[in-house]
């Protein structure tokens, strides 16, 4: 089934007129949403902890900054852009008591709604606008006059205007310039978690690390292995991003094309596909969500251990040394780190 897509002509900023949007959080997505909304003429306030290091950044951009509770009280639309693991507690303690009848509660990811960690009262709208890009790119392309594709979903339509408001929000951050695809909280959450775990963060990283290990264990220099298994990955991903897998194969050498098409399925085969299905099943039945919630309740011991193990891996140590030779890459890393704070 093809997703319904909305563009500028389908969205009307009138749904945001005389309304205040409260952006809770000022990290990668938070700063982009707040600044794009502000530049679109929307009245925006930012909600942050009293000790947040982002307060000065937001104020320097001309934004009004309040405590999370104060911002939620001032907002007609409250966009929750703090990390998933903190949202439920913040909702109960600081957002819920300050929502009024007919307000809208908004998210950029459906985790807490879909897995019932947040259960809003029935007298508010609940919708999602999820840009399919990191926040620094959402901001950058908006300033260039373009936009980032977004997903839209309405979970609760108390006012009867939730979809209109959501589309107006998407337009104000630049989403309808590129296209806004309609989905559900369930679909967005489950596909997002699967993609992160099986492909984008988990699968690709493990493939890179194990490829690096195969070469170094065979006696090849770790620096050369790093370039072949990690550094050049960006070149391939950029080609796929621009024109799909077919475009990538068209752009590489015939040798690379033949080798990839004949050997790739030997490395990632039906066994891997079955394992991916198991990953998806654990996302769908809530096993992963329960695991992640408990991990946070316990103080994230497993995550800390895994972070430490990754930092100790040879590919990370070699990579830091090689990237120090690449001025352009360091500039990109600095930009991403700054936007994510």
Residues serving a catalytic function are 109
310, 279, 333: which is closest to 209 by C-alpha?
A: 310
| Eight-class DSSP state of 122 | T
Alpha carbons 206 and 83: distance in angstroms, whole number: 24
From first CA to last CA, the distance across the chain in angstroms is: 38
Question: Any bridge partners for residue 185, and if so which?
Answer: none
What's the Cα-to-Cα distance from 110 to each of 35, 192, 204, 288, rounded to whole Å? 23, 9, 24, 14
CA Rg, the chain, in Å? Answer: 22
Judged on CB neighbours under 10 Å (0-12, 13-18, 19+), 61 is middle
Residues 175, 149: contact at Cβ < 8 Å? yes
What's the Cα-to-Cα distance from 92 to each of 43, 82, 119, 121, 315, rounded to whole Å? 25, 14, 10, 11, 42
Residues 58, 33: contact at Cβ < 8 Å? no
């Amino acid at each position: 089934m093809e997703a319904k897509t909305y563009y500028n002509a389908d969205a009307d900023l009138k749904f945001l007129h005389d309304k205040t949007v409260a952006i809770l959080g000022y990290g990668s997505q938070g700063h982009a949403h707040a600044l794009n909304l502000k530049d679109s003429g929307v009245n925006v306030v930012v909600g942050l902890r009293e000790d947040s290091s982002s307060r000065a950044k937001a104020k320097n951009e001309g934004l009004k900054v309040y405590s999370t509770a104060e911002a939620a009280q001032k907002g007609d639309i409250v966009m929750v852009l703090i990390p998933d693991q903190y949202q439920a507690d913040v909702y109960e303690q600081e957002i819920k008591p300050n929502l009024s009848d007919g307000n809208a509660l908004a998210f950029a990811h459906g985790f807490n709604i879909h897995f019932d960690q947040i259960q809003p009262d029935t007298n508010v709208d609940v919708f999602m606008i999820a840009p399919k890009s990191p926040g620094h790119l959402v901001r950058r392309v908006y300033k260039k006059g373009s936009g980032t594709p977004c997903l839209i979903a309405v979970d609760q339509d108390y006012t009867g205007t939730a979809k209109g408001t959501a589309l107006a929000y998407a337009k104000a951050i630049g989403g309808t310039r590129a296209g806004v695809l309609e989905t559900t909280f369930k679909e967005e959450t489950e596909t997002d978690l699967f993609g992160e775990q099986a492909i984008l963060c988990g699968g690709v990283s493990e493939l890179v690390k194990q490829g690096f290990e195969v070469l170094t264990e065979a006696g090849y220099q770790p620096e050369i292995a790093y370039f072949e298994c990690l550094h050049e990955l960006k070149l391939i991903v950029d080609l796929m991003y621009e024109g799909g897998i077919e475009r990538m194969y068209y752009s590489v050498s015939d040798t690379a094309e033949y080798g990839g098409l004949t050997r790739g399925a030997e490395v990632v085969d039906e066994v891997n596909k079955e394992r991916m299905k198991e990953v998806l099943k654990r996302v769908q039945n809530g096993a992963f969500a329960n695991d992640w919630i408990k991990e946070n309740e316990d103080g994230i011991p497993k995550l800390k251990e895994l972070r430490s193990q990754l930092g100790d891996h040879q590919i990370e140590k070699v990579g830091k040394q090689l990237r120090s030779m690449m001025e352009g890459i360091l500039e990109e890393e600095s930009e991403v780190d700054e936007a994510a704070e």
